[in-house]
Amino acid sequence: MGLRIELRRSSALWAGLLVVVSGTAMLLLLTTTAAKWQDNSTSAVLELRKPLAYVWALVVGLAVLQGMRDGRARVNELFATTSRPGWVRLGTLASAVAGVVAAATLLLCVGVIVRVAAGGGFVSAGFVPLMLTVVLALAGSVVLGLAVGRLLPHPLAVPVALVATFTLAMTAAQAQDVRSSDGVIPRLALLVPVLNPPSSDLVTTSTSVDLGQIVWFTGLGVTALLLLVSRSWRGRLVALVPAGLALALAVSILPARLSDVLVTDSIAGQLVCDGEVCVSRVHEAGLPAAAAVGRDVLKKLSVLPHPPTAVREDTSAMAHFEVPRRSGDVVYLNSQLHPSVLTMSPEQMRLEMFAGAGVPPCAEPNSSDSRESAVRYLTAAYFTGELTALPSDPYVWGSSSMRSAVEEDWRAFRSQSPSEQLGRVAKVREMLLTCQDPARIHDVLVAR
């Protein structure tokens, strides 16, 4: 009965509506129709961590406003004289608001998962710990907001809470923005529900991150509830103990290096194979085409010394930050840097596999080198017999000056004898495998 009354007279339902509406709106505003999260349920729930900076601040601000209800109405002394224990009434309020927010967050997570399933994406149980973390984070934060509003019923409490929460979220997000697998993320920056995930359907957070955040948000929620119902300063000091213990435990669990924070989704990233060609489970629909092209590519690459013997999709979680993965035995397909590589036409996919003689460039992601681009064009043309545009590097072909330079290099390369051409391609492949003197690779290929 009391819970039903609180659902009607409190801001619980408004808080739940705020979570669903603002979360959906921000997700749509911050992502595009081509966003990779739509292909994997785990990535979809992880993507929700991006708009949480806004949703989190709004929900906490509304909870602080709700917590000020008794103070604004000046009924604290009146309720203190009733026979009903204060902790029962306040606990009922916390249950109503936090319960609705938790249900709304759960609904938001289920909504994006349904979106993935409806679009033919990959659905697995990998989203469960991510969803649990988000639900605990918002529910615990709401109870903390109620406690702050009850303890500090000042007109400035709500705007200060809004600004402080949003600033904390933005500061943590900036601290998480490192560009190397060895980059260190302050552990305290992982104690917020906000995360800027990479644009990939193969990456998730590690078990250590999930466990550390679950411990922290659970302890925070317990402390918030105790602060809300406590009536003395001694009780409020004791209420801080669960959060303190949870903080110490969480910090000891959370990793610091980026490579330990983001890991390959063990379910979606599992390889499925057709002979010597393998792709991830989330991209299994592209396996038949990749297998047909891959076998043909491996056959033509067999003229090289120590040729590759397999084609694999690169499922490494660090593909966004590091020089692309390379191996003398494997031709890697990087669907994270070039999402369309497994949905290209057979001719385009073949060009991508031949580029670099089956070896990716030495340049870091989101950087370019015109000479290295020329090498990729020329090596692909060597195996196909025709110089044509590479789908992953259309800028070279679209620039008249760069295209003319590549065509001139192609004529110089073709003027050499067949054995000389093969030897230079083999040498370039060897240099690309070790990224040995990248500046000379172009000169070796065109004999300059």
The residue behind tokens 């930050």 is 321
If DSSP codes are grouped into helix, strand and coil, which group holds residue 191? Answer: coil
Determine how β-strand 203-205 pairs with β-strand 271-274. unpaired
Please give the Cα distance from 376 to 438 (Å, whole number): 12
| pTM of structure | 0.88
Please give the Cα distance from 284 to 114 (Å, whole number): 20
Rounded to an integer, what is the distance from CA 227 to the centroid of its chain? 34
Q: Cα–Cα–Cα angle for 100, 102, 107, nearest 5°? A: 90
pLDDT digits (tens, 9 = 90+) for 346-373: 999 999 999 999 998 887 777 677 888 8
Asked if residue 277 lies in contact with residue 295, where contact means CB atoms within 8 angstroms, the answer is yes
Largest CA distance in the chain: 101
CB atoms within 10 A of CB 295: 14
pLDDT of 73: 47
The 10 Å CB-count burial string (b at 16+, else e) for 422-435 is eebbbebbbbbbee
Please give the Cα distance from 181 to 167 (Å, whole number): 26
Please give the Cα distance from 347 to 135 (Å, whole number): 46
Residues near 332 by Cβ (< 8 Å), separated by ≥ 6?
311, 312, 313, 314, 324, 325, 326, 360
* Burial class of residue 43 in the structure, from the number of CB atoms within 10 Å of its CB (0-12 exposed, 13-18 middle, 19+ buried): buried
Q: Taking the CA atoms of the chain, what radius of gyration do you get in angstroms?
A: 28
Question: Can you name the residues that pair with 271 across neighbouring β-strands?
Answer: 280
- Residues of the chain where predicted confidence (pLDDT) is lower than 50: 73, 75, 77-81, 83
What are the start-end ranges of the E strands in 230-371?
262-264, 271-274, 277-280, 310-313, 330-333
Task: Report in angstroms the alpha-carbon separations of 38 from 138, 187, 339.
Answer: 23, 29, 13
Asked if residue 385 lies in contact with residue 374, where contact means CB atoms within 8 angstroms, the answer is no
What are the start-end ranges of the E strands in 283-378?
310-313, 330-333
| Spatial CA neighbour of 15 closest among 66, 69, 90 | 66
pLDDT of 79: 45
pLDDT of 37: 85
pLDDT of 170: 93
